[in-house]
């Protein structure tokens, strides 16, 4: 607007012309507002002061002598109003500290505007001159001005940056202002129209035009930035504009440290969780493949020849990493095992070693533990072993943990074994050499050092490519049914290979690959799915928490942002600022998240390796396949975390847009309803409820998942100590349970070592081959030992009961195995099997009578009669969800079978016994028996050693002996004796417990962290956001007590809902799973019966055996399904129906307590100064 | 009768200490209509807040007849406010989530009053048609009248007003003033008004002027 125009308008206004006033208002109101806003830093006040300024101006305009001075005059009114406002504010309530007061005072004088030519903002010439004015200032003054006005530092910060006192800063600033003022007046001469502008605005303006850049600002800013701890590089990199924004951002976050912490915390947690989850997944994957390798070796091709051409043809492009040569058979007597060599013994197939190493020098041997056991040998690395090939030094014992698990599963034809066609059945083949059935191991169980001049019987070619593993290659066999993909047959024919030979290889390759794949898949899925569930829940909560926190931050920032917009920051700039900020935060979160996630993972790994002692099975794999098959944890967790942050950002922005509250026309008739209406915050409530539900559900679910799989020993009940006390008369507390040093338990077989080991080189150990009938200690020895030492399991017990339906006959995995076992049996055994096709196979547990008597609490039917048990008249029947049910008093036939070599039935001993009492298997009950047996979960009959002896059960095999004292040489070495000291037992339990409680603690920790981020944050947020309303209610006369009670009730409602929902969800899951379990079982059972009926309808050409097999197969499938369901869907009544309520209640109680505490604390923040709270709340709105 | 004894309120400590109110002794008799005037920052709002128990005095006491406000705990003080004092604020300060009617009836419900004369109040205040509306849907004048209705619903003896007309146009302001005058005249309510407007002050029976936290 021209000067003349203003003059005209002013004089018109003085004459009372309304229109002129309006024009002046529209011309200057924004300018004045902008100026005032800079002075008072408060939107509302700025609006008020601007209005007041104009009201005063209009009232007093007649006093103005000339229109010339209107602009200056208007600004001086505004300025006076501002100072009055600041003074008043400092007098009243806004001053919280001395510092703020002095700051306000300082602002008042130092932020007094200076008068500049009105058009300085657009006039390039004036701006250049202004620039010169600033540059002409002495350097110390210039620095102070730029740091203070331009970089927005406080006087104290400037003082720090320039190493001078605060007063000095004021002085310099004051003088600089005087100088600038004078210079400007000199420059512009008379007749210039002046406008008032805060110096900071002037500088910002100059900077916008690109004038205030380079040396002047750069150096000073760098000094300042370094001094106040801002990374110099950052401020330099981001250039001029960004610097203001950076300063602003830093200021904002330094004032909202709590919000920043919450945002970082939730993001870090999310990223850490993701990173950890993916790392765990990768490790699990690698471990499963490792395990599979251990079991089978990773080979895809077997040949007896060394023909390179052929090997190349089979392996194609895959990398061959090594070769395992099977050299031949050796052993003692009729127990022979294949032996071989590895060309990369340490690593190739991840052979799990219990101790020692693989052989390297001539004359060394590594043997599987089970093979050693079969020879009756319990020695250790360093011993000498004489086999038919010569004497070897034992350098390594191969872990046999997997052996029990996979004996039957992997039982099958060994590679290279010759087939003989069955005389009776065309197309049915038998393995010629039965000894090849001895061990169900695809790779040799004995490894010797590379023997010279030994031609391999066959070689296993190892390939390191797991990729494509799940798609078995088409096989190359001479058979019309198979497709000859590579034209191999032709090649073979041309090169003189026999078709039969390749048919064998092809078959083997196909079966092996598919078997291994399905085994791997099954194992992997079973182990991983529970983890995925828990991690999934945790990650969902983390995502919710990030979004909740971001939403919170957005509403907090809204005011600041709108203020920025009003003082002229463009939308684009605001957006750029926020984007840079969030990218930076996301990067920070991701980095810290990586660190935390991998640290936790490494911690768990170290725990697994060092505490669980399963390094061979738990390590990070150094092989390529894990990287090929699993998502890269760091990349994906970073990406997902960034994605979620972005999502949270968009979500929060959208929520912000639609934040106009929807008011519902619902009548609030009572105080309670009024409260409800006032405190309604649906978005937060939903987030809180969902995350809490997930927390409770996840915690309880995780608890339930971990409990049955890891063990059920509960140290809190004190049962264990009591048990030990009564058992051994000593006081055993948990502490010395875990302290193995104190126990000083000697292995009872230590006496035996004296004559066996390398400790005494004069004595060589004869390999004991005692395959006699007794596979336990003899009864005389048992008598000498006394009751308390004699416990364990009788492995081959069968129950026969014509009156009760038994779910499963003798369990052998496949028809082939069953046939083989049948053939391996003696005539007596065969006859027995022919006569009985409904036998339930289980184990019989032996415990001492004192332990058995303690089970009285768990008896569900009948009663425990010690005398009858000891006399062999009765036995205890232990049942669980899937075992056949009997009644107390039922008479059953217990069949004890023996075998010489582990296959078939040699001798049968049948005895009738009454079921004295029925005991339901519960965790507690298991605890009672823990030190009596370590039978796992498949025993059903329970009696004492004496009782078993009286019953004449075969050899009353006391296969586990636990002793606290050295027994010396009283125990004869026997085949199949499983030595386990109390110490070892304790250690095992320690590991189990440590795993259980460690995982639980970790889970609860993670969950509570997440809860803290998402849920607890919401409580404070809800209350803070209603500060205004709360203050009004207080003013009207609502007591704090009532408010607190009300809010607590409100807060606690969410945990109540969440707990109820979780409990319901878990219950529904249980019921659905149980239903599914029963349904599946019924279907499978029906199928089995139908199949049998089908066979029975067509008796021609179908033997009773066929029908039996069909029936058996069906039942077997049923059993497998039941077990699968049990582990996949948790359909086990023991854990489901006993354990859900209590953990839910515990988690609920804890959350309630914290909720109440937090609510109390948040409400406690409302002090006695209600008036202040109202005005603060009003401002916030 | 309302009496203050050496009523003092300071903020901050040490050198930065600001005295908002420095030893004020006043006595207001029942049925008086008193204006407290003074410039911005003279301490008039502070005085009103202390009289209404919205803030605690640093020193000195406030007596309502024989009740010493400083001896009451939060629950008692709240109850006292609820039953004996009605507040009218410059910014109306209605609870935004509640309708006008709910706002008005809220104190009555808190006080567990069974019978209330809200419809009479609405008629007297001319807001009958607007009571089902939310504050955001009402004009400033209407909001202030609803706020007055809220202050009166429990039939308190004392009405404290902090710049009641400050945010209203002239007509609305006058209406509010005449209403307050009526209340003072008819049921003999004690009305205390904080204002910086001399016109409004002149309509009261007594004027207390504050300057820099002291009586003048």
Note the pLDDT tens digit of each residue in A138-190.
767 776 776 676 555 667 766 765 667 777 777 787 788 777 777 776 665 54
- A88 and B41: CB-CB below 8 Å? yes
**Any domain includes A190:** yes
Percent of chain A with pLDDT over 90: 1
- A98 and B49: CB-CB below 8 Å? no
Alpha carbon distance A845, A849 (integer Å): 12
Which residue from A502, A455, A463 is spatially nearest to A340, judged by alpha carbons?
Answer: A455
Residues A221 and A261 in one domain: no
The DSSP H or E segment spanning A895 is: strand A891-898
Domain final residue pick, A431, A449, A465: A465
Q: Which residues of A touch B74 (CB under 8 A)?
A: 1039-1041, 1168
Nearest neighbour of A1041 by CB, restricted to B41, B74, B154? B74
A352 touches A617 (CB < 8 A): yes
Mean pLDDT of the A631-635 span: 76
pLDDT value for A784: 59
Residue keyed to tokens 């010569």: A390
**Joined tokens for residue A587:** 């990067």
**Any domain includes A28:** yes
Mean pLDDT of the B61-90 span: 86
pLDDT value for A1042: 84
Which of A39-48, A53-62, A1031-1040, A1166-1175 has the highest average model confidence (pLDDT)?
A1031-1040
**Any domain includes A727:** no
pLDDT at residue A96 tops 50: no
**Any domain includes A439:** yes
How close A1149 comes to chain B (CA, Å)?
Answer: 29
Alpha carbon distance A669, A72 (integer Å): 57
- A1035 and B80: CB-CB below 8 Å? no
pLDDT band, very low/low/confident/very high, at A876 (cuts 50, 70, 90): very high
**Any domain includes B72:** yes
In terms of Cβ atoms closer than 10 Å to its own Cβ (0-12, 13-18, 19+), residue A122 is exposed
pLDDT tens per residue across span A984-1015: 666 666 666 666 666 667 766 776 676 766 77
pLDDT value for A483: 38
pLDDT at residue A442 tops 70: no
Domain final residue pick, A186, A208, A237: A237
Q: Which residues of B touch A1170 (CB under 8 A)?
A: 49, 54-55
pLDDT at residue A775 tops 60: no
Where are the alpha helices (H) located in A711-796, listed in sequence order? 719-728, 734-738, 740-743, 750-753, 779-785
**Any domain includes A242:** no
Q: Does A678 touch chain B (CB under 8 A)?
A: yes
Number of domains in chain A: 5
- A101 and B16: CB-CB below 8 Å? yes
pLDDT band, very low/low/confident/very high, at A712 (cuts 50, 70, 90): very low
Which residue from A457, A482, A506 is spatially nearest to A313, judged by alpha carbons?
Answer: A506
SS3 assignment for A770-819? CCCCCCCCCHHHHHHHCHHHCEEEEEEEEEECCCCCCCCCCCCCCHHHHH
Residues A654 and A703 in one domain: no
User: Hey, which residues 78-137 in chain A have their CB within 8 Å of chain B?
Assistant: 84-85, 87-88, 90-93, 95, 97-99, 101-102
pLDDT: which is higher, A309 or A895: A895
Residues A996 and A1129 in one domain: yes
pLDDT at residue A1033 tops 70: yes
The DSSP H or E segment spanning A1028 is: helix A1027-1036
Q: Which residues of B touch A84 (CB under 8 A)?
A: 40-41
Nearest neighbour of A98 by CB, restricted to B16, B96, B109? B16
- B93 and A97: CB-CB below 8 Å? no
Q: Which residues of A touch B210 (CB under 8 A)?
A: none
Q: Which residues have CB under 8 Å from A185's CB, separation 6+?
A: none
pLDDT at residue A561 tops 70: no
pLDDT at residue A1083 tops 60: yes
Where are the alpha helices (H) located in A189-231, listed in sequence order? 199-208, 215-227
| Chain A CA closest to residue B136 | A663
How close A662 comes to chain B (CA, Å)?
Answer: 10
Least confident of A747-761, B182-196, B200-214: A747-761
Which residue from A354, A444, A441 is spatially nearest to A398, judged by alpha carbons?
Answer: A354
| Chain B CA closest to residue A1168 | B55
pLDDT at residue A510 tops 70: no
Question: Do strands A840-846 and A792-800 pair parallel, antiparallel, or not at all (unpaired)?
Answer: antiparallel
pLDDT at residue A732 tops 50: no
pLDDT value for A416: 34
Residues A682 and A709 in one domain: yes
Mean pLDDT of the A271-290 span: 77
**Any domain includes A728:** no
To probe the interface with A, which of B14, B16, B46, B91 has the most A CB atoms within 10 Å?
B16
Least confident of A517-531, A669-683, A1074-1088: A517-531
**Any domain includes A986:** no
Residues A552 and A431 in one domain: no
pLDDT at residue A1161 tops 70: yes
How close A678 comes to chain B (CA, Å)?
Answer: 5
pLDDT at residue A356 tops 70: yes
**Any domain includes A250:** no
Alpha carbon distance A160, A1026 (integer Å): 40
DSSP per residue, A962-1008: --SS--GGGSPP-TT-EE--HHHHHHHHHHHHHHHHHHHHHHHHHHH
- B20 and A1029: CB-CB below 8 Å? no
pLDDT value for A1109: 59
- B16 and A678: CB-CB below 8 Å? no
Q: Which residues of B touch A1041 (CB under 8 A)?
A: 74-75
pLDDT at residue A2 tops 60: yes
Least confident of A439-453, A717-731, A908-922: A717-731
Residues A1004 and A955 in one domain: no
Mean pLDDT of the A440-469 span: 61
To probe the interface with B, which of A1029, A1036, A1164, A1170 has the most B CB atoms within 10 Å?
A1036
pLDDT value for A471: 39
Rounded to whole angstroms, the maximal C-alpha distance in chain B is: 54
Backbone angles phi, psi at B186, to 5 degrees: -75, -70
User: Hey, which residues 36-95 in chain B have their CB within 8 Å of chain A?
Assistant: 40-41, 43, 45-46, 49, 52, 54-56, 74-75, 78-83, 85, 87, 89, 91, 93-95
- A91 and B78: CB-CB below 8 Å? no
Residues A511 and A550 in one domain: yes
Mean pLDDT of the A815-819 span: 61
Which residue from A84, A297, A318, A75 is spatially nearest to A196, judged by alpha carbons?
Answer: A75
- B54 and A1171: CB-CB below 8 Å? yes
- B97 and A1170: CB-CB below 8 Å? no
pLDDT value for A897: 75
Residues A829 and A930 in one domain: yes
pLDDT: which is higher, B5 or A605: B5
| Chain A CA closest to residue B9 | A92
Residues A1111 and A1035 in one domain: yes
Question: Do strands B33-38 and B190-195 pair parallel, antiparallel, or not at all (unpaired)?
Answer: parallel
pLDDT at residue B47 tops 80: yes
pLDDT at residue A947 tops 80: yes
CATH number of the structural domain spanning residue B109: 3.40.50.300
Range of the domain at A1115: 677-714+992-1181
pLDDT value for A875: 92
Alpha carbon distance A727, A113 (integer Å): 91
pLDDT value for A1029: 85
**Joined tokens for residue A96:** 């919280």
Residues A704 and A821 in one domain: no
Alpha carbon distance A772, A794 (integer Å): 16
pLDDT value for B189: 86
To probe the interface with B, which of A51, A52, A91 has the most B CB atoms within 10 Å?
A91
Q: Does A658 touch chain B (CB under 8 A)?
A: no
Mean pLDDT of the A188-203 span: 53
pLDDT tens per residue across span A734-749: 333 333 333 333 333 3
pLDDT tens per residue across span A383-410: 888 887 788 888 888 766 544 333 332 3
pLDDT tens per residue across span A651-691: 766 765 554 445 455 566 677 888 888 887 777 788 788 87
Which of A60-69, A151-160, A185-194, A265-274 has the highest average model confidence (pLDDT)?
A265-274
How close B203 comes to chain A (CA, Å)?
Answer: 23
pLDDT: which is higher, A827 or A114: A827
Residues A512 and A642 in one domain: yes
Q: Does A420 touch chain B (CB under 8 A)?
A: no
**Joined tokens for residue B103:** 């706002």
Residues A499 and A453 in one domain: no
User: Hey, which residues 129-168 in chain B have their CB within 8 Å of chain A?
Assistant: 132, 134, 136, 150, 154
Does the pTM of the predicted model rise above 0.80?
no
pLDDT at residue A250 tops 70: yes
**Any domain includes B215:** no
- A1039 and B20: CB-CB below 8 Å? no
- B93 and A88: CB-CB below 8 Å? no
pLDDT tens per residue across span A749-763: 322 333 333 444 443
Range of the domain at B45: 2-210
- B74 and A1039: CB-CB below 8 Å? yes
- Cβ pairs bridging A and B (under 8 Å): 126
- B109 and A670: CB-CB below 8 Å? yes
Nearest neighbour of B11 by CB, restricted to A95, A661, A1034? A95
| Chain B CA closest to residue A93 | B11
pLDDT band, very low/low/confident/very high, at B77 (cuts 50, 70, 90): confident
Q: Which residues of B touch A1034 (CB under 8 A)?
A: 78
pLDDT value for A917: 92
Alpha carbon distance A467, A460 (integer Å): 19
pLDDT value for B24: 86
pLDDT at residue A920 tops 70: yes
Q: Does B170 touch chain A (CB under 8 A)?
A: no
pLDDT value for B65: 85
């Amino acid at each position: 607007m021209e000067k003349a125009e203003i003059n005209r308008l002013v004089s018109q206004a003085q004459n009372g012309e309304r229109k002129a006033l309006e024009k002046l208002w529209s011309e200057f109101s924004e300018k004045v507002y902008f100026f005032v806003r800079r002075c008072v830093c408060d939107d509302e006040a700025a609006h008020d002061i601007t209005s007041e300024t104009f009201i005063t101006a209009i009232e007093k305009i007649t006093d103005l002598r000339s229109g010339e001075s209107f602009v200056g005059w208007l600004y001086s009114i505004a300025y006076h109003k501002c100072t009055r406002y600041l003074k008043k504010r400092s007098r009243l309530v806004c001053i919280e500290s001395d510092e703020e007061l002095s700051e306000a005072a300082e602002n008042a004088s130092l932020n007094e505007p200076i008068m500049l030519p009105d058009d300085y903002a657009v006039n390039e010439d004036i701006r250049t001159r202004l620039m010169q004015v600033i540059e002409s200032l002495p350097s110390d003054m210039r620095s102070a001005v730029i740091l203070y006005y331009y970089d927005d530092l406080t006087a104290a910060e400037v003082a720090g940056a320039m190493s001078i006192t605060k007063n000095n800063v004021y002085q310099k600033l004051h003088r600089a202002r005087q100088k600038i003022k004078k210079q400007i007046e000199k420059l512009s001469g008379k007749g210039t129209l002046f406008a008032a502008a805060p110096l900071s605005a002037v500088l910002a303006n100059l900077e916008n035009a690109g004038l205030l850049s380079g040396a002047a600002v750069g150096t000073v800013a760098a000094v300042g930035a370094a001094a106040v701890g801002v990374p110099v590089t950052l401020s330099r990199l981001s250039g001029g504009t960004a610097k203001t924004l950076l300063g602003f951002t830093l200021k904002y976050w330094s004032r909202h440290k709590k919000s920043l912490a919450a945002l970082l915390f939730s993001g870090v947690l999310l990223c850490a969780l993701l990173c950890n989850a993916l790392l765990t997944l990768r490790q699990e994957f690698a471990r499963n493949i490792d395990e599979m390798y251990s079991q089978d070796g990773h080979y895809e091709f077997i040949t007896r020849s060394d023909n390179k051409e052929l090997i190349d043809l089979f392996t194609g492009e895959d990398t061959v990493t090594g070769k395992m040569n099977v050299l031949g058979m050796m052993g003692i007597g009729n127990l022979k095992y294949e032996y071989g060599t590895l060309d990369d013994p340490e690593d190739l197939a991840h052979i799990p070693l219990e101790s020692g190493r693989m052989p390297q020098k001539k004359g060394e041997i590594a043997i599987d533990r089970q093979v050693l056991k079969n020879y009756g040998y319990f020695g250790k690395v360093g011993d000498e072993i004489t086999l038919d090939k010569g004497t070897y030094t034992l350098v390594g014992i191969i872990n046999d943990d997997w052996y029990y698990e996979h004996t039957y599963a992997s039982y099958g034809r060994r590679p290279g074994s010759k087939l003989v066609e069955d005389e009776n059945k065309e197309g049915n083949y038998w393995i010629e050499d039965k000894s090849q059935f001895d061990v169900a191991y695809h790779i040799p169980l004995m490894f010797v050092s590379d023997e010279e001049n030994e031609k391999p019987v066959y070689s296993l070619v190892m390939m390191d490519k797991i990729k494509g593993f799940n798609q078995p290659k088409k096989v190359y066999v001479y058979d019309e049914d198979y497709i000859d993909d590579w034209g191999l047959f032709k090649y073979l024919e041309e090169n003189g290979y026999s078709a039969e030979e390749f048919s064998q290889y092809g078959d083997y390759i196909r079966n092996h690959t598919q078997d291994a794949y399905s085994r791997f898949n099954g194992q992997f899925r079973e182990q991983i799915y529970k983890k995925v569930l828990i991690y999934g829940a945790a990650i969902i909560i983390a995502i919710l928490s990030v979004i909740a926190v971001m939403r919170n931050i957005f509403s907090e920032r809204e005011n600041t942002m709108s203020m920025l917009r009003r003082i002229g920051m463009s939308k684009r700039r605001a957006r750029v600022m926020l984007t840079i900020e969030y990218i930076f935060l996301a990067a920070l979160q991701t980095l810290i998240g990586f660190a935390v996630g991998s640290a936790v993972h490494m911690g768990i790994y170290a725990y697994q390796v060092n505490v669980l002692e399963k390094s061979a099975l738990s390590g990070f794999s150094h092989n390529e396949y894990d990287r090929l098959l699993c998502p890269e944890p760091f990349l994906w967790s970073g990406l997902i975390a960034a994605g979620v942050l972005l999502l949270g950002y968009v979500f929060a922005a959208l929520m912000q847009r639609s934040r106009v509250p929807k008011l519902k026309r619902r009548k609030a008739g009572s105080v309670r309803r009024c409260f409800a209406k006032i405190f309604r915050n649906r978005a937060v409530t939903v987030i809180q409820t969902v995350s809490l539900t997930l927390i409770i559900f996840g915690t309880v679910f995780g608890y339930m998942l971990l409990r049955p799989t890891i063990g059920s020993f509960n140290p809190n009940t004190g049962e264990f100590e009591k048990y030990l006390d009564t058992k051994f008369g000593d006081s055993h507390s948990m502490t010395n349970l875990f302290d193995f040093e104190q126990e000083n338990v000697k292995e009872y077989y230590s006496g035996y070592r004296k004559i066996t080991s390398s400790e005494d080189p004069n004595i060589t150990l004869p390999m004991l081959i005692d395959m006699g009938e007794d596979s336990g200690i003899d009864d005389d020895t048992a008598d000498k030992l006394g009751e308390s030492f004699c416990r364990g399991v009788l492995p081959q017990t069968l129950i026969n009961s014509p009156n009760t339906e038994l779910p499963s006959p003798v369990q052998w995995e496949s028809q082939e195995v069953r046939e083989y076992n049948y053939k391996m049996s003696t005539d007596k055994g065969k006859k027995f099997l022919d006569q009985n096709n409904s036998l339930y196979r289980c184990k019989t547990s032996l415990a001492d009578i004192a332990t058995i008597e303690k089970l009285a609490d768990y008896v569900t039917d009948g009663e425990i009669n010690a005398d009858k048990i000891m006399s062999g008249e009765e036995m205890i029947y232990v049942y669980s969800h899937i075992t056949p049910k009997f009644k107390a008093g039922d008479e059953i036939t217990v069949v004890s079978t023996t075998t010489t070599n582990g296959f078939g039935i040699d001798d049968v001993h049948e005895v009738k016994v009454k079921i004295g009492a029925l005991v339901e298997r519960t965790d507690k009950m298991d605890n009672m028996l823990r030190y009596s047996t370590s039978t796992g979960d498949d025993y059903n009959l329970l009696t004492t050693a004496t009782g078993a002896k009286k019953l004449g059960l075969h050899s009353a095999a006391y296969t586990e002996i636990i002793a606290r004292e050295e027994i010396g040489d009283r125990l004869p070495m026997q085949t199949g004796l499983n030595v386990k000291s109390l110490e070892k037992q304790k250690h095992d339990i320690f590991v189990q417990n440590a795993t259980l409680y460690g995982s639980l603690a970790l889970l609860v920790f993670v969950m509570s962290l997440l809860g803290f981020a998402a849920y607890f944050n919401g409580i404070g947020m809800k209350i803070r956001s209603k500060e205004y309303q709360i203050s009004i209610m207080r003013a009207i006369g609502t007591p704090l007590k009532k408010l607190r009670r009300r809010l607590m009730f409100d807060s606690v409602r969410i945990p109540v809902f969440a707990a109820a929902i979780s409990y319901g969800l878990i219950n529904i899951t249980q019921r659905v799973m149980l239903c599914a379990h029963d349904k599946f079982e019924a279907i499978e059972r029906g199928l089995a019966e139908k199949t049998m009926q089908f066979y029975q309808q067509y008796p021609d050409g179908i033997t009773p055996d066929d029908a039996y097999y069909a029936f058996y197969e069906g039942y077997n499938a049923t059993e497998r399904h039941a077990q699968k369901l049990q582990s996949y869907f948790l359909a086990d009544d023991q854990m489901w129906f006993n354990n859900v309520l209590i953990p839910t209640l515990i988690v609920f109680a804890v959350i309630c307590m914290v909720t109440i505490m937090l609510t109390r604390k948040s409400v406690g923040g409302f002090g006695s100064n209600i008036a202040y709270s109202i005005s603060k709340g009003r401002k916030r709105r | 009768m309302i009496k203050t004894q050496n009523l003092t309120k300071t903020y901050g400590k040490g050198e930065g200490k600001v005295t908002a109110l420095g030893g004020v002794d006043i006595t207001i008799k029942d049925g008086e209509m008193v204006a407290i005037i003074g410039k911005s920052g003279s301490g008039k709002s502070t005085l009103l807040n202390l009289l209404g128990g919205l803030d605690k005095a640093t020193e000195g006491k406030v007596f309502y007849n024989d009740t010493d406000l400083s001896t009451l705990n939060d629950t008692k003080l709240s109850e006292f406010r609820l039953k004996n004092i009605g507040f009218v604020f410059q910014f109306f300060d209605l609870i935004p989530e509640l309708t006008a009617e709910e706002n008005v009836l809220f104190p009555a419900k808190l006080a567990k009053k069974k019978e209330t004369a809200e419809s009479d109040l609405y008629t007297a205040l001319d807001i009958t048609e607007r009571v089902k509306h939310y504050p955001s849907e009402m004009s400033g004048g209407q909001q202030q009248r609803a706020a007055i209705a809220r202050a009166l619903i429990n039939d308190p003896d004392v009405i404290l007003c902090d710049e009641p007309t400050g945010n209203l146009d002239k007509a609305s302001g006058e209406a509010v003033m005449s209403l307050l005058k009526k209340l003072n005249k008819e049921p003999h309510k004690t009305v205390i008004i904080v204002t910086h407007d001399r016109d409004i002050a002149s309509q009261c029976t007594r004027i207390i002027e504050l300057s820099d936290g002291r009586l003048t």
